[in-house]
Amino acid sequence: MCKKFENLSLTSFFIKKLEERGTKEPTDIQSKIMPVLSKGESVFFTSATGTGKTFAYLLPVLDKLLKANEEPQNLNSNTHGINARFVITSPTLELCTQIKGELDFLLKGTTLRSALVIGSVNPDHQIANLRKNKPDIIVGNPNRLLLLAKKKIVKLNPEYFILDEADRLVSDEMSDETNELCKIIRRESGNGLTIAACSATLNKKTRDKLSIACGIKNIKFIKSDDHEILRDKIEHWAIFSEKRRKDQTLRSLLSALKTGKKKKTKIKALIFTSRGDEAGLILSRLQYHHVSAAGLFGKVNKKPLSGQERREALDSFRQGGAEALVSTDLAARGLDISGITHVIAMDVPSDSEVYIHRSGRTGRAGKRGVMITIGDETQMRLLSSLEKKLKIKIYPKELHGGQVCAPLPVDEQI
């Protein structure tokens, strides 16, 4: 593992940017991926959440674009369309917005320009902004990128194309759009295209789908050594609750976590459920009982949440206005929210990769976190199977007297 960014041929400009964040050494995945992308080689890669995957692909590509930016042949001067040299796609507006935020930070003080194109914004406003600013980098979800390409606003012929949270992008619900987007980019860019795809989980089946979509056989696959975070940085708990009592158990748990051994302990809890309709019910019941909570999911009472409502909920949680955020797996996919103390799952996924993505929202950037699952007897059996598959230790817990405790031995129970 390379211990210095200087050894990764990163310019002093970006090294100073990283120092502003207190980052002095590359993570394992950054030291492995940055040299590959610097050479213009395509790659699929995976590492645990919170290990710096976004910077692993942003830094080498932006570094190359910045070095070449003064060359006239690379300037974006087409007055009839936008030729972005770097295109990034991800499945949700929240993740696209997060990536754009990192771009804004890294590009401040440079001549490179970036744009965000997501489905929750009026396309006319986006088109006007694109024509005015002619960005070098575009980040957006597949359907909006396709819309802009079909309107001939954006010519999708980049030098670099990144698929972030790639396993979700080739899932059944998104594969058609992703495949169409990849086909257009491959056709327009030709042999000069560098492709990278990343996620915390990229199994063989997913990589095969991506290889077909990207049109690349035997693509290089790199896996980080950072996956031990799931075992070393995150403590896993299981709390039994009958289905009809889960909401009450959740409220009691949140209260106990805030009290603990010290009064008024601050918490930042991300609450997961797999179904959007249940997410709305959980949120409304928490708010009815005066729990400071916000929601990040698709619909409330069958009415879609607007992009603005979702951004406000996320901002409230980030800034501490809400101590709990209720979300579905898709809405929170890939989000980097600092300071999450607890992740609470209201159901048990059948897929171990979903459990990995959920738990990875905490225990980030060297900090420790707690993953808590609330489930009935059937779900506890499923959780036990996941425990064995993932080689983690899940500790049973109970709620007694406003505290989270280890269960009493059988001979001490009444």
Q: How far apart are CA 285 and CA 271, in angstroms?
A: 13
Residue 293 main-chain phi, psi, to 5 deg? -140, 150
214, with CB counted inside 10 A (0-12, 13-18, 19+), is buried
190 C-beta neighbours (distance < 10 Å), count: 8
**Between 8 and 239, where is the model more confident?**
239
Whether the per-residue pLDDT at 77 is higher than 50: the answer is: no
* Residue 123 CA to its chain's centroid (Å): 24
pLDDT over threshold 50, residue 196: yes
Axis crossing angle, helix 93-107 with helix 307-318, rounded to the nearest 10: 60
> Contact 116/97 with Cβ under 8 angstroms?
yes
pLDDT-derived band at 333, boundaries 50, 70, 90 = confident
More confident residue, 227 or 239: 239
Percentage of the chain with pLDDT > 70? 91
Cβ neighbourhood burial of 3 (10 Å; 0-12, 13-18, 19+): exposed
**Per-residue pLDDT, 302:** 57
**CATH 3.40.50.300, applies to 5-227:** yes
Structural contact between residues 275 and 345, judged by C-beta atoms closer than 8 angstroms: no
**What pLDDT does 75 receive?**
47
CATH superfamily, domain 233-407, is P-loop containing nucleotide triphosphate hydrolases (3.40.50.300)
Confidence band of 120 (pLDDT split at 50, 70, 90): confident
Average model confidence (pLDDT) across the chain: 89
Question: For the residues 231-237, what does the mean pLDDT come to?
Answer: 90
Query: Confidence class of residue 79 from pLDDT cuts 50, 70 and 90?
Result: very low
The residue among 36, 45, 49, 14 whose CA lies nearest residue 334 is 49
Residues of the chain with CATH 3.40.50.300: 5-227, 233-407
Residue with tokens 């940055």: 34
Q: What mean pLDDT comes out for the span 387-395? A: 93
d(CA 359, CA 234): 8
> Which of 192 and 181 is assigned the larger pLDDT?
181
What are 278-294's pLDDT values in tens digits? Answer: 898 999 999 999 999 99
Residues 6+ away with beta carbon under 8 Å from 166: 44, 197, 198, 199, 202, 206, 210
Q: What is the pTM of this model?
A: 0.86
